[in-house]
Structure 1
Amino acid sequence: MSKSAGSMQDLARQLVTSLNHEAQSPEALDTAARRVAAQVRTHAGAGMRKEWHEVRATLQGLARTARVRVDDAVGGAYDKLVRQLEEHRRRGGTRWDEDLPLQASNMPQHVDLLLELAQPTNAAARAFAEAFLERPPLAAAQSDMRLYREIMAAPFEGEHWGPSYDAVEADWSSESEGSATPSEDEVVTPAAKGRSGAQAAREAEAARRADEQARLLVAKLRLRELDAAAYWKTGGDPLPSIGGLRGWHALSSLPALVSPALPQRERAISAAQLQRELLFALSGRPGILLAFDQGTCSIISGHPEVAAFSPAALHGILSTFAAHATQAARLRKFVIETLVGTHSETAEAFAAACQGVLRDVAGWVAEREEAFLGTLGTAALVTSTPLVLEREFMRFSEMLDALCSLIALAAHPVALLDALYEATISPVAWGIRAQLTDVFVQAAAPLWRMTGDWLVQGMPVPESLSSQEADLALQEDGTERALPQEFFIQRDRDAAWIDEDFWEVGFVVGHEGWPAWLADVRADVLEGGKARGLLRSLPGAQEGAVWRALSDLISPKQDIAAALCAFVAPICHSAQRRLADTLERECGLQAHLAAIDGLSLMRAFSVLDTWTDWLFAQMAAHRPWSDFHLLTHAMRDAIEATGAPFNPAGVRVRTTRRHAGLADIRVDYLIPFPLSQVFTVTALDLRADVFAFLLRLLRARKQLRSELHGRWGTDEPALRRARHAAAWALDTLWSWANTALDILGARHAAAMAGPSFHALVGLELEHARRVCALCFLHPPTAAAMVHVAGILDAAAALNTVGGSVPGSDSEDEGERAGQGEGERDYSSQSEDTGESTPLTSPGRHVRGLRDAVEALVGQEGDACTREMWGMLVFALQDWRE
């Protein structure tokens, strides 16, 4: 283009002429030139400034238009152009070329100008689009391209271009003028230029691949040569000859380190190669000297010899390292089998700890291999002899030996941890105590976590027991949380929650025993977990203590058992104290105890007087009285009428037989959970027997006093004296029984304030048995019960004297039919002890009772019980014939 053009019109005409080589009329050229000049002026102004999103939308619209016209190549070229322009915009102000003043700031204006000047799609545009799409991307980075351009921009000067470079250049320029060929005058089109670039790129890619294949082939051949020449293939290097060597210096030099004791073989491996084989064996890899079979490392028969080692010395070295490798292999096999299969959490944790030890061994072997190969660059780490290697491996061999001895116990968590604990605290293992402590911490973590769950969450309690409904509380609905099978505390499914000894036998030590490292807190852990479980079953229970990890509690320098027991004991004691406070403050332990004693031991005199008056009146009038509803409603009405602080809804009175007597009446008081575990069914049954005995004694006493007042002055003197004697005996028994029950009840209430839950259960059961013994309901008091039954029978007989038919009282018949088997035996014995009449039997039975009670005082046993018997003996001393 001429530089002398001075007007925009001339510049536009020259631009149109250079871009369009087709012959056009002058009018068409003028029209195109004017159009180009107008577009240039328009885009030169600020009012027509274009933003990039507008230009991008135009390009994408042209791409869609091209695809609608089935010009896929043109559409793809537009899309590729948009991607390249976006890439240029992300690079900022980088120029397209050093000679083109196109920057990211004015790029939309240039592209918009080109779009305005573009003609409709023709064959040339399609060809250019196809060439543009086939053009491969630049292989080099942008920085490499800039370096290439700098190199190519430098002048071709210097000796390496040859001495006649300038001359040749001049000749070329002189000869080229006026001798251009038709081919040189051809215009290079963009399509042809793109095709030539693509062809060059494909040829370069093919050359690169061929070069890679050639280098890979050379590497494989070299590797094959090295493998064929390896000592595990050739059997080692040729042995140097000792012929012609003289003197100790020559014989001990490195080339002549050959033992005369070696067999006559031509080849042997070196000491360095022996060291490599030993490291292989320690890491579990077989070699040409040592092999593995089912986790056992053994020496290969017919193995190569080693230079500078006699067969005996080599055998000793290999035997030592085979033992070490066997330990590592056994441990490695155990780890793989345990972590892959299904085992207990303790076994898996122990396997994981063993895996950590094996990882340390593998790291040590890797360091020795790295030092052996010289990659560390420090010659001090290189092991020089097998003896030095063995001495360095001793830091692991003792640990591996200790762990291998525990593999057989992996199926028994408690036994495994006990053995590991014993090995840790053993003075023999003082050198590896830190490592064994780490293994113990990891292996005992599952059992320690289960212990924490037991003490923090408590023993599992069924949801039905915490219900406020009494009937539901007597059932077990299967919602009890199951304890882990490997935990050392297990649920005894043969024991029910209503059993008297459930607190002791409901949750017991498992068949594997108790851990030795928690032996000092065995009772505390059992009681603490049970107490915590009862606390959590109550509404508004507080959270338990924070449970800490084993790693935070013990260290190699500490006594493991002492540290753990010091942490566990306060948690257990806190749960027991909190349960005792809760039972007293929120559950009303003393109030329920007073209600039970008031009903079963007849301490609530106003309530029992009202109820017994109704009962005895019903019996005297021959009206129904043994129905469950009648008995219960009468008792509840008596409670409400007297205003006693009892729960009427929890009181039930029943009979144990259809044709019942006084001995068959039982009074029940339903206790809410968790007090139902203190006042067990057995304790309440024993109290019910005492209630039946006191009820018989009360009725006999009231009937006899009624007869005395009703027949005053009408009876014969002998009959009146007999009735007075029987009344005195019954009054003495009644007074003594009430005094003894008051004393025992006060002592029992004081003892029930503050002890642990386990102590509460034992105290209540012991108190119920002591009360039964004082009411002559235990086998040791059978002799005394014979005379008590005789006194009751004599009183019943004296009540009927003077009637139409002795013994016709239906209530007495029912009472006698309702006596327990033991009481009927005592009555029959009292009738068969000799010839006696109602007039003489009271005195004889009182004397017999006094003698029997004196015998009880002299027996060894409970001091409190003997004290009560002494009070009765003292009271019976006032008997006069």
Structure 2
Amino acid sequence: MSKNAGSLDLARQLVLSLRPDTKDADATARRVATQVRAHAGASMRKEWHEVRRTLKELAGVARVRVEDDVADAYDKLVAKLEEHRRRGGTQWDEDLPLQASTIPQHVHFLLELAQPMDDDVREFAAEYLVRPPRAADKSDMRLYREIMAAPFEGEHWGPGYEEASDEEWSDSESDGGSTPSEEDVVTPAKSTRSAAAQTARQAEAARRAEEDARLLLAKLQLRELTGAAYWKTGGDPLPSSDGAYGWRALSSLPALASPALPRHDRAISAAQLQRELLFALSGRPGVLLTFNLNECSVGVYGQGPLTQIVPSHPEVASFSPAALQGILSTFAVYATQAARLRAYVQSPGASETAQAFAAACRGVLHDVTTWVAEREAAFLGSSSQSVSTPLALQREFARFGDVLAALCDLVPLTNSPLALLDALYRATISPVARDIRPQLTDVFARAAAPMWRMTGEWLVQGMPVPESLASQEADLALQDDDTERALPPEFYIQRDRDAAWIDEDFWDAGFVAPAWPAWLREHAVLEGGKARGLLRSLPAEGTHAGEAEAWRSLPDLISADQDIGDALCAFVAPICGRAQSLLAATLARECGLHAHLAAIDGLSLMRACDVLDTWADWLFRQMAARKPWADFHLLTHAMRDAIEGAGAHWINPASVRVRTARRRAAITDIRVDYLVPFPLSQVFTASALELRSDVFGLLLRLMRARKLLRARHKAGADVLRVRHAASWAMDTLWAWINAALDILSARHAAAMAGASFHALVTLELEHGRRLCATCFLHPSTDAAMLHVAGILDAAEAVCVASAGMASTWDTESEGYESEGGRSGWSESGRSGRSATSASEASSESTVRAWDGSLERAAASLGAHVRGLMEVVEGLAGREGDAAAREMWGMLVFALQDWKDVLYVA
């Protein structure tokens, strides 16, 4: 441990001395220390020819990349190193005491520490090419400096200038004549032309020699490349299988190959095998793996080029045929996945989700191609990190292979955007995809971006609403759906064209989600968009507040270390909640939700007592006088007159409609409607108002029976006893029903305060069903309704019978008078006794008939009251809502006071 710490400290000092401005000194020091320890062993020793080949390959890569300066710098460096090797010696020079025998190790160590090519390296290579050679203090250089030194003296120049001038000077020159030698000196034109020509010939010869040398070098390089083209020659010849071999060569010789396998005479090296594998992964065929284009079908998802092993492929010198077959089979699967994914991205489909998924797949393929390119570049550079076994290459590529396999499984689902995203989401959160979850999360974020954008438009802009709907005078029946904003066809929420804005179930059926995304578990998105669209259609102030929601992109919301559904729901839920809360406040403040609810309850549940009493009295008089009463206009105008006469300003007379359910109507067929404007018409629907109208019909019949029983007629004690029993039954039912309706209405009003629009629709419909159940109009209370109807029929029969007996009694007692407290028959009555004796017999028979009818009505009344008590006891003991059981218990308690009434003839 101390030795490693010491080497790491030395490496850090070395890094800081060479690069004092580096920011990652610790990381670089660890890397240097690791490489030093790796090259300390004897197994990592490099010879000069290996290092020379590495430098030549780096120069070749640079020339392929059109980086001539870097390539020339490598060539110059190799030439320098070759020169020192030829010169020999134990050290490099005096300034750099390196051992010549360890030069390959130093160069290999520097190559291991080298970073990828950048601009600094290119600039250094350019400077290195023009750098003048270092002056060496040698004999020839010293001689050169002595020759070029001034003055021109020394043994190299012969006699001095002055001595030569004195000796060679002659008197003939002073005579003014000229000699041939002097003419040559004065006019050297001929000699100059010959020297220039000689120089030109020498330059041309040098140029041709240089061209010949470069041509020869190019031919040698071409011959070398041609010789290395194993894909043409099939590799090097295999060694003979004759003779004995050591145990190290057993697994790599063809002698151990199965006789059933094809035999080949040539083989490639392990490095060339790695090159072929990289070629296959990048989609390029080779001598080992090729692509069967007959299996390619780009237009059909899930199909693509199939990678196959070449039947006549060469062997690999260091692998047995079985081992090579296994390696090629594994990489054939990877290459097939990559090839089919490349085929898909060329024709992804028309939907935005499919195109986004193709773009994400294209990004994964780009990463694969970049990885392959880096491996190829490192392979040409013979870096120890890239010179690995195919098994190591397979293990390194496995991180891409799992991603490619997952994406290929999703390609057949690209026809359905929602199914594609759901499958991708399930693959991302799958426990088996834990290692590739970051890659799949990134693919999901890019593929789901269009659907997420559509979700944002739905929540921010709301559901499409026709512009004319914002006008208060707009007729819902004339709304044209073509004026609405069209939703994208691939969005999971769609417009149902069979549902019109006038339909009472439009809120539930107008915009539906046939299938909900598995990655978006917040179902409030549907209601949030509807609420936002409804707010945009309302012209009231404050309805557009909060529209500019800060919609964030998927990469900002999700990551590989958190659940995608939880993250998206946490972001979407507040937006949906704000829209629904704002709509609830707007409906209560601007649309008068609670005022309309009070008006509807006042009519349908008879809370407007003064109005309903006035209207009911008119109706009962019309029935008693046998005048027309069932006409729609008569009923409606009578109700409106009663509202105006009572001064009930909380009820809008123009919104009231009173009608009969049938043409030949009875009192139970009367229905009352209350029209509300949009959007409250989606809350108080026709179905909900119809349920309330049924309750209104029952209450109206109870009111008529109570009024008839309260009428004053002359009758005996027995008749009054029966009338009292029937009146008690009517009053008990009336009091209990009104008390129960008051409780239900109070709970309903409290539940509607602040509820969402969908909750308002649901609450109103459920409230109507509860009202019907309380008034024995629900299928669950059919048995109780039979007894209630029997009680009403018996009460009406009692009223008719008692009224008939009262009329008979009045006829018989026409002569009876009471004067001053005296009672008796008058004289005229006595004298007329004989005149009326004929009618007495018929009157007695009529009384007996009414008496029998009254007896039957009393018996029926008692039987139905007892039957109702038994049924209600069963309802009170039934499992379910505790509040409902309590209300039924109140009715049971009230009916226990019933006493049988026996009619005495």
Tell me the TM-score range normalised by the shorter chain.
Answer: 0.5 to 0.7
Matched residue, 1:167: 187
Q: Distance in 2 between matches of 1:476 and 1:840?
A: 65
Q: Return closer, same or farther for 1:260/1:744 CA change in 2, 3 Å cut-off.
A: closer
Matched residue, 1:195: none
Matched residue, 1:550: 554
Q: What is the number of equivalent residue pairs in this alignment?
A: 629
Q: Distance in 1 between matches of 2:900 and 2:238?
A: 129
Aligned-residue CA RMSD (Å): 4.1
Matched residue, 1:126: none
1:400-479 counterparts in 2 under 5 A? 400-461=404-465, 467-469=471-473, 472=476, 477=481, 479=483
Q: Distance in 1 between matches of 2:493 and 2:228?
A: 61
Q: Distance in 1 between matches of 2:365 and 2:233?
A: 31
Output one character per residue of 1:619-644: Cα deviation in whole Å (capped at 9) or x when no partner: 44444433322322222232223221
Matched residue, 2:681: 676
Matched residue, 2:754: 754
> Residue 567 of structure 1 aligns to which amino acid in structure 2?
F
1:107-506 counterparts in 2 under 5 A? 167=187, 169=189, 231=229, 234-239=232-237, 267-293=266-292, 294=295, 295-338=305-348, 341-342=349-350, 344-374=351-381, 379-380=383-384, 382-461=386-465, 467-469=471-473, 472=476, 477=481, 479=483, 481-491=485-495, 503=507
Aligned counterpart for 1:667 among listed residues 652, 657, 672: 672
- Partners of 1:689 and 1:772 within 8 A in 2: yes
1:493: Cα distance to partner?
Answer: 5.8
Matched residue, 2:855: 840
- Partners of 1:236 and 1:270 within 8 A in 2: no
Aligned counterpart for 1:784 among listed residues 781, 784, 787: 787
- Partners of 1:498 and 1:681 within 8 A in 2: no
- Does 438-447 or 723-732 show the bigger shift? 723-732
1:596: Cα distance to partner?
Answer: 0.3
> Residue 234 of structure 2 aligns to which amino acid in structure 1?
G
1:738-749 counterparts in 2 under 5 A? 738-749=738-749
Matched residue, 2:617: 613
- Partners of 2:603 and 2:612 within 8 A in 1: yes
- Partners of 2:802 and 2:854 within 8 A in 1: no
**SS of residue in 1 equivalent to 2:551:** coil
Output one character per residue of 1:120-179: Cα deviation in whole Å (capped at 9) or x when no partner: xxxxxxxxxxxxxxxxxxxxxxxxxxxxxxxxxxxxxxxxxxx9796364999xxxxxxx
**SS of residue in 2 equivalent to 1:851:** helix
1:328: Cα distance to partner?
Answer: 0.9
- Partners of 1:368 and 1:381 within 8 A in 2: no
Q: Distance in 2 between matches of 1:703 and 1:471?
A: 45
Q: Distance in 2 between matches of 1:851 and 1:492?
A: 52
1:552: Cα distance to partner?
Answer: 0.6
Q: Percent identity?
A: 61
1:302: Cα distance to partner?
Answer: 1.2
> Residue 237 of structure 2 aligns to which amino acid in structure 1?
L
Q: Return closer, same or farther for 1:385/1:724 CA change in 2, 3 Å cut-off.
A: closer
1:441: Cα distance to partner?
Answer: 0.9
1:799: Cα distance to partner?
Answer: 7.2
1:661: Cα distance to partner?
Answer: 3.0
1:537: Cα distance to partner?
Answer: 3.1
Q: Distance in 2 between matches of 1:835 and 1:273?
A: 120
Q: Return closer, same or farther for 1:554/1:171 CA change in 2, 3 Å cut-off.
A: closer
Q: Distance in 1 between matches of 2:509 and 2:186?
A: 113
Matched residue, 1:641: 645
Q: Return closer, same or farther for 1:460/1:243 CA change in 2, 3 Å cut-off.
A: closer
- Partners of 1:467 and 1:473 within 8 A in 2: no
Q: Return closer, same or farther for 1:484/1:791 CA change in 2, 3 Å cut-off.
A: farther
Q: Return closer, same or farther for 1:629/1:329 CA change in 2, 3 Å cut-off.
A: same
Q: Give the TM-score of the pair, scaled to structure 2.
A: 0.62
Q: Distance in 1 between matches of 2:378 and 2:185?
A: 58
Matched residue, 1:814: none
> Residue 408 of structure 1 aligns to which amino acid in structure 2?
P
Q: Distance in 1 between matches of 2:567 and 2:863?
A: 63
Question: 1:569 and 2:567 equivalent?
Answer: no
- Partners of 1:490 and 1:507 within 8 A in 2: yes
Matched residue, 1:764: 764
1:360: Cα distance to partner?
Answer: 0.8
Q: Distance in 2 between matches of 1:849 and 1:409?
A: 66
Q: Distance in 2 between matches of 1:391 and 1:454?
A: 46
Matched residue, 1:518: 520
Q: Return closer, same or farther for 1:280/1:445 CA change in 2, 3 Å cut-off.
A: same
- Partners of 1:296 and 1:326 within 8 A in 2: yes
> Residue 575 of structure 2 aligns to which amino acid in structure 1?
I
Matched residue, 1:585: 589
- Does 409-418 or 547-556 show the bigger shift? 409-418
Q: Return closer, same or farther for 1:236/1:626 CA change in 2, 3 Å cut-off.
A: same
**SS of residue in 2 equivalent to 1:548:** coil
- Partners of 2:798 and 2:858 within 8 A in 1: no
**SS of residue in 1 equivalent to 2:789:** helix
- Partners of 1:729 and 1:791 within 8 A in 2: no
- Partners of 1:525 and 1:572 within 8 A in 2: yes
- Partners of 2:241 and 2:253 within 8 A in 1: no
- Partners of 1:518 and 1:564 within 8 A in 2: yes
Q: Distance in 1 between matches of 2:740 and 2:264?
A: 106
Q: Return closer, same or farther for 1:668/1:265 CA change in 2, 3 Å cut-off.
A: closer
1:491: Cα distance to partner?
Answer: 4.9
1:566: Cα distance to partner?
Answer: 1.8
1:422: Cα distance to partner?
Answer: 3.2
> Residue 574 of structure 1 aligns to which amino acid in structure 2?
R
1:668: Cα distance to partner?
Answer: 0.8
1:473: Cα distance to partner?
Answer: 6.1
Q: Return closer, same or farther for 1:716/1:310 CA change in 2, 3 Å cut-off.
A: closer
**SS of residue in 1 equivalent to 2:357:** helix
